[in-house]
Structure 1
Amino acid sequence: MPLRLICLAMSLAVGVLAQAAPDWTEPFPPHHIAGNLYYVGSRGLASYLIATPQGNILINSSLESSVPLIRDSVEKLGFQFNDIKVLLISHAHWDHSAGSAQIKKLTGARYMVMDGDVEVVESGGKTDFQYGQTPSSLFPATTVDRVLHDGDVVKLGDTVLTAHLTPGHTKGCTTWTLKARENGKSYDVVIVGSPNVNPGYKLVNNMQYPQIASDYERTFRVLRSLPCDIFLGAHGSYYGMEAKLAKMKAGDRNAFVDPDGYKNYVSDRGQAFRAELQKQLQAANRKP
């Protein structure tokens, strides 16, 4: 293909990525979920604040441009932005981690990332198996303060989060679990990293990520094994955030308690993965 056409194709791809999700930058009302857990993200990109007497934990820094929005949401809830002591992510894609360098600088928070995603975070996305050559998906390289491994815990105050390696979407995609107490009850909270197969992902003969299919299989085994009362995720759309918040505002104090919704989501995403894998296997077998 002539260089001019290659450049044009890349420019179009970048434009599509940049315009794909306008709700990523659309403000959304920050709100209480359960216990010491709050939503502080945009309409399309989920960020969570976990408040403790010893400081707060933020999950997902989102885009570079998201940082003022996250800060505003934190402060609207009555918390101080510079009380964030720990910064975590669901996975090392630009829409969940691009704001990390700025948040570290503003708050001094310790940045903790699953081992499989550390290289991507510290390279600013350049070593990502799928998007490393896509300019629009790169972000400021950020130093990781603590490398996490599957099953590690993050403790602050009386809050304990467990990091579960759920790879495939990225090599270090992380699902977080914690307990939240609300109305005298203890709830198992699961914040899903991402079990989704993005457009363009090669599940078969992927030279940059040979074990991608088996990693996805591992992810679904892990997700099925986790007890879940309150189902959350890297995007609010995973768990029907807007509908659940509307129910809560209408008086349903248990609007976010949805164990069946979690099971259905994991089952649906597992079926989508297996269908895509089968499609790619059949295509590979047809090649001479």
Structure 2
Amino acid sequence: MMILPFTAALALLFASGSALHDDALTQPIPGNPDWMKPQSPLKLYGDTYFVGTGGISMVLIDTGDGLILIDAALPQTVAMTEASIRHLGFRVEDIRYILNTEAHYDHSGGLAALARGSGAEVITSSIGAAALRAGRADAHDPQASSLPEQPPVPDARGIADGHVVRLGDTAVTAVFTPGHTPGSVSWTWKACEGEACVDVVFASSLNAVASGSFTYTAQPEVTAALRASIDRVEALPCDLLISAHPDNSGGDVKIAALQAGATPNPFLDPSACRAYAERARGRLQARLDREAS
């Protein structure tokens, strides 16, 4: 019997529609094909693992007393996510918390199904939690006019900036980074291999993207919030960066290198957060320049 490579098995799972059936929580939401591209799970460092797709980051943390998952991709990728978690030797039912960076369907569309399957509590900012409970983006979101609705997460819980989610021997801290969305949150924690520990940052999107009549020029408070968030991410202790979209920080290249066995670990880069912030700062200025012209 031929055994398919894991990515091929994921692709077959996705193409077969076995993740969908008639389940309202996993009905597909159209999006960028790269967001649905199968990606083998891999260890990033210590007990921190990448379980996302080719275009959407998701991270699993083994705390020693249950699992923490960050982000959920789309409804139609839930079965792939669960398969990735099982492939690493973990149980979906052991996820205790699912943390969310932003209430956009490409990062939170799968939350309702994953929360149901695991029994996990979904946690994000208060603004983000309200959007998750409603199943639609906040009215003040720069992309609100073009974003589709997603399966609501009725029990999503909002927390304060700086709140620490503790489980086992792991403490994950919420760092509010609004601007791309009003409720965006980045998350930080330490990952260790023996006594060698590194500061990990899962950074929310910092891109200045808008739709409809929204302009950053006409919303100076949103622009100021995004600038402050960029500065905040830049200043974080940061040895290992995961950005919400891997290709926004070169994470896609690092994933491919790590999967190929590259040494030293390509994700260990103390300049990554600074580079990510500088890229976001440039994109914001380019957006403002286009609006001005």
Q: What interval of TM-score do these two structures reach, taking the shorter chain for normalisation?
A: 0.7 to 0.9
Rounded to whole Å, the distance in 1 between the matches of 2:39 and 2:155 is: 29
Identity in percent: 31
Shift in Å, 1:164: 0.5
Q: Is the 8 A contact 1:113 1:144 kept in 2?
A: no
The residue aligned with 1:218 is 228
- How far is the alpha carbon of 1:131 from its aligned partner? 4.2
Deviation at 1:109, TM superposition (A): 0.4
TM-score normalised by L of structure 2:
0.83
What's the CA shift for 1:105? 1.2
Measured at CA, do residues 131 and 197 of structure 1 come closer, stay the same or move farther in structure 2, by a change above 3 Å?
Answer: closer
Which one of 17, 23, 30 corresponds to residue 18 of structure 1? 30
Q: CA deviation at 1:133?
A: 4.2
Residue 203 of structure 2 is aligned to residue 188 of structure 1 = no
Q: How does 1:240-279 map to 2 (within 5 A)?
A: 240-248=250-258, 249-279=260-290
Give 1:37's aligned amino acid. T
- Consecutive unaligned residues in structure 1, runs of 5 or more: 1-16, 284-288
Structure 1 letter corresponding to 2:37: E
2:118 is aligned, of 90, 98, 107, to 107
Partner SS state of residue 218, structure 2: coil
Q: How many residues align?
A: 261
Query: Hey, what does 1:228 align to over in structure 2?
Result: 238
Structure 1 199/157 Cα, relative in aligned 2: closer, same or farther at 3 Å? same
Provide the residue aligned with 1:198 in structure 2: 209
Contact 2:109 2:151 in 1 (8 A): yes
Q: Give runs of aligned pairs for residues 60-75 of structure 1, distance below 5 A.
A: 60-75=71-86
**Aligned position for 2:168:** 157
1:39-78 to 2 correspondences below 5 Å: 39-78=50-89
- SS of corresponding position for 1:232: strand
Tell me if structure 2 keeps the 8 A contact 1:74–1:81: yes
When residues 239 and 183 of structure 1 are mapped into structure 2, their CA distance, relative to the original with a 3 A threshold, is farther
CA displacement at 1:183 relative to structure 2:
5.3
* Aligned-CA RMSD value: 1.9
Question: What is the CA–CA distance in structure 1 between the aligned matches of 2:256 and 2:151, rounded to whole Å?
Answer: 36
**Contact 1:28–1:42 (8 Å) recurs in 2:** yes
CA shift digits 1:38-77 (9 cap, x unpaired): 0111111111100122110110111111110100000000
Highest CA radius of gyration, 1 or 2? 1
1:188, 1:230 within 8 Å by CA — same for their partners in 2? yes
Counterpart Cα distance in 2 of 1:172 and 1:258: 27
Q: 2:74, 2:117 → 1: CA distance?
A: 15
The one-letter code matched in structure 2 to 1:220 is I
User: Is the helix fraction higher in 1 or 2?
Assistant: 1
